[in-house]
Amino acid sequence: MDYKKSEAPVTTVTQNVSELDKLTGNIYKTVVIVSRRANQIAVDIKEELSKKLEEFAYYTDNLEEVFENREQIEISKFYERLPKPTAIALEEFKQGKIYFRMTEQSEESSD
């Protein structure tokens, strides 16, 4: 998924809890689903950023060259301005874009 085109807000937005738990029936289940998706998104973004910044990695740099690399600074600033992974995951959840399944616990206890 292209996180750069996400409709998630960049700033903090108050959420209606009664709207969030409609799909799962439990706010705690919703939080678990959104947090797991946010972790996946964070890993994807970090890997993508690392690949882009790897192009600028010089192993024999002097200090002046490191601070003068404008392209690297622009890439970093772009990723800093993206919505946070939690906001992206919450927006995906509200739009029904996250696939999840609920496993039912059996009522039988194993002795």
Q: Where are the domains of the chain?
A: 15-94
pLDDT digits (tens, 9 = 90+) for 9-59: 778 888 888 888 888 888 999 999 999 999 999 999 999 988 888 877 666
Q: With 0-12 CB in 10 A as exposed, 13-18 as middle and 19+ as buried, what is 53?
A: middle
> Is the pTM here over 0.85, yes or no?
no
pLDDT at 17: 87
Residue type (1 letter), 78: F
pLDDT digits (tens, 9 = 90+) for 53-101: 887 766 655 655 555 677 888 888 888 888 999 999 999 999 888 888 8
Q: Are 89 and 7 in contact (CB under 8 A)?
A: no
